[in-house]
Structure 1
Amino acid sequence: MNPNTCKWLLLLGLSPVAAWAAEGGASIYPHGVENFMAGALPPPGVYGMLYGNHYRAGRLNNADGDNAHVPDFRLRANVLAPRLIWVTPQKVLGGDLALHAIVPLVDLNVRAAGQSQHKTGIGDITVGAALGYHHSEKLHSIAALDVYLPTGAYDKKDLANIGHNHSAIEPVYAISYIQPKGLNADAKFGYIINQRNKDTDYRSGDELHADYSVGWAFGNGWTAGAGGYWMQQTSADQQNGERLPNSKGSAFALGPSVKYDSGKGWFVTAKWQKEWQAKNRPQGNAVWVKAVMPLGGKH
């Protein structure tokens, strides 16, 4: 067995590999989850959101972006993630104060080198607070702070883990330019500060990332365009207090994206994104669907 294969099997045996959490190849943040309307906070009220994701990868890439040739590697993750948002009537620093929570429900399959494992359950919960700004009828932005909680099941001996066994904090800034007919563009930027996994004494490096979308609204509720994500690990992983060389990850994804806005307070977005480049990570493709609906308040 070549050295690269041994390295990746070691990582798989120590840590989760999933679309929602990992220290051995993926990220605590579900890259590409956001789409059109990412930076537009709705009026005060309570809103329900539902994210759906299917992710599939058939290769793990090394630090050069080449296939690490882990034998028979397959990763498949299906996620349903309900999100509850309360946009309060309170103003803070000139913005609308909002609170939210996300609870992912994960179905995960991992296979590598003749071993396989299947797990289902609640993943790591995200909570956060945000301030929403409406600069004009077309331009909107959000500044937020999210906290990732280690609530998902984890065992360092398992091949697949739904949880990642450490917390993280993430400052977020999102901006949206929206026209009922014409150009629409969105970007959500975040900086993830990972904490230590106490069971493995492993600390994943910090990450800078962005979800993005750009499209054209046709004036009948439909918007079509493209979207994806970019991420770059800004610091190396550490284990037992030692910096691990060549451990920074990066990725870029792009694919078609659509949105339908009912004009009655609810809308749906959908996209398919292909990871065109990945380093120290799985490389695959994903389908994302997001539905937003008001549950109460002014709309």
Structure 2
Amino acid sequence: MDNKIIAILCGLLTCFHLSTAFATENGSDSFSLGAEGIMAGALPPAGLYFLGYYQNYHANKFIDGPSQFYVDANAVVPRFVWMTNHNIANGQLGWYVAQPLVDLKVKINGLNDSNQGLGDLYLGTMLGWHHQNHNWLAALETVLGTGDYKTPSQTHLVRANIGKNYDTIRPIFAYSYLNSNGIDLSTKISYSWNSKNEATNYKSGEYFAGDYSLGYRIQPKIKVAVEGYYFKQMKDDKDNGKDIDFKGQVLAIGPAIQYANKNWSLEAKFLKETNVKNRPEGHANWLKLVWAF
């Protein structure tokens, strides 16, 4: 199976609640920014696969937000992927589920909170195609607002929420170009629609988000890459039904390395954020293990 082990998607969220409104509620989103890179569009043969993700995200400033800000989020995300023998439109059918476990600390203008627990549940179905050096997939993902969530109050203005209290649906497209010379050109793009947070009467705007990777195999089992992500909010947030004219944006870039064995692979990366608007600005460290049963 070698390098054809699945390397797509994950379910990570780092959600924190401020007492005021920012682009996408509190400047956070449910897309797993930076989770995928090398071979993002290449699906494996039929079978059951385990993907284990670890992410640390750290930021000490919020662009266009509170003057004093700090967030440190650690997440472990087990994800199971089942690739079937069934084809639809000549594409191989697969399913996945992911459940983040999150440890979150946040400080805002002298106030702080922390929380540990289950994040929101991710469910998805996908189709994958292969033709010579080209690999691509289409998926439909749903994020259910099942994670731990508490509304702010006069005595507790800042909440370190690890759930969002609203649902998200997103179509996803991923593509990988892989050739015998060792080049790996991969991307994953998506568009997200969010339901309203009934507890705050706040609706986060629609957004585009994607990961990218340009890699090269330097040894039979080792690839190095330049990877990153891009997030761009396309529609304004609505607070009590009114647009607040505040949209988030971020670009990240950094190095990555992958080791792929017969039935497993391990990828590590460091991504630094830049060109940020109306969001936290920080950096992320990722580890991803893929195991074929």
Give the TM-score normalised by the residue count of structure 2: 0.89
- Work out which of the residue numbers 269, 273, 276 in structure 1 matches 2:274: 276
The answer to whether residue 120 in structure 2 is matched with residue 120 in structure 1 is no
Contact 2:140/2:170 (8 A) holds in 1: yes
Report the alpha carbon displacement of residue 219 of structure 1 after superposing the two structures with TM: 3.8
Q: Matched residue of 1:131: which SS?
A: strand
Q: Contact 1:255/1:272 (CA < 8 Å) preserved in 2?
A: yes
| 1:101-135 CA distance string (max 9 Å, x none) | 01000000001222111100010010000001111
The percent identity for this pair of structures is 36
Instruction: Look up the match of 2:222.
Output: 222
The answer to whether 1:149 aligns with 2:116 is: no
2: distance between equivalents of 1:135 and 1:202? 44
SS of structure 1 residue aligned to 2:38: coil
Task: State yes or no: 1:266 paired with 2:268.
Answer: no
CA contact (8 A) 1:15 1:161 kept: no
Query: Which stretches in structure 2 are left out of the alignment for 5+ residues?
Result: 1-16, 153-157
Contact 1:257 1:269 survives alignment (8 Å): yes
CA distance in 2, matches of 1:100, 1:55: 24
- What amino acid sits opposite 1:146 in the alignment? E
Q: Do 2:99 and 2:120's aligned partners in 1 also have CA atoms closer than 8 Å?
A: yes
Whole-Å separation in 1 of the counterparts to 2:236 and 2:57? 25
Q: 1:166 — aligned with what?
A: 166
Match of 2:282, SS state, is strand
Matched, 1:250 2:246: no
Greater displacement, 174-183 / 90-99: 174-183
Amino acid at match of 1:102: A
In structure 2, the CA distance between the partners of 1:167 and 1:200, relative to structure 1 (3 Å rule), is same
Which residue of structure 2 lines up, in the alignment, with residue 292 of structure 1? 290
Q: 1:1-299 maps to which residues of 2 (within 5 A)?
A: 12-13=18-19, 23-62=25-64, 68=65, 70-71=67-68, 73-136=69-132, 138-157=133-152, 158-179=158-179, 181-245=181-245, 247-262=246-261, 264-295=262-293
- Displacement after TM superposition at 1:159 (Å): 2.2
Describe the shift of the 1:219–1:180 C-alpha distance in structure 2 as closer, same or farther (beyond 3 A).
farther
Post-superposition CA distance 1:181-231 (Å, at most 9, x none): 421111000001111100111010001111001011124211112100011
Equivalenced residue count is 272
Residue 263 of structure 2 aligns with an amino acid whose one-letter code is: G
Secondary structure at 1:24 match in 2: helix
Q: How much does 1:57 deviate?
A: 0.0
The answer (yes or no) to whether the contact 1:181–1:219 under 8 Å persists in 2 is no
- How far, CA to CA, are the matches of 1:181 and 1:55 in structure 2? 34
Q: Unmatched 5+ residue regions in structure 1?
A: 1-10, 63-67
CA contact (8 A) 1:166 1:194 kept: yes
In structure 1, C-alpha distance between the alignment counterparts of 2:21 and 2:269, rounded to whole Å = 29
Q: Aligned equivalents of 1:69 and 1:280: distance in 2?
A: 10
- Is 2:22–2:279's contact at 8 Å kept on the other side of the alignment? no
Q: Quick one: which amino acid aligns to residue 50 of structure 2?
A: G
SS at match of 2:36: coil
Aligned partner of 1:5 in structure 2 is: none
Contact 1:150/1:167, CA 8 A, preserved across alignment = yes
Name the SS for the 2:25 alignment partner: coil
| Residues 35 and 269 in structure 1, CA contact (< 8 A), matched pair in contact too | no
Q: Helix, strand or coil: the match of 1:38? A: coil
Equivalent residue letter for 1:92:
I
1:293, 1:225 → 2: CA distance? 21
Does the residue aligned with 2:18 lie in a helix, a strand or coil?
Answer: helix
Indicate the SS of the match to 1:196: coil
* 1:7 matched residue in structure 2: none
Distance 1:133 1:266 in 2: 21
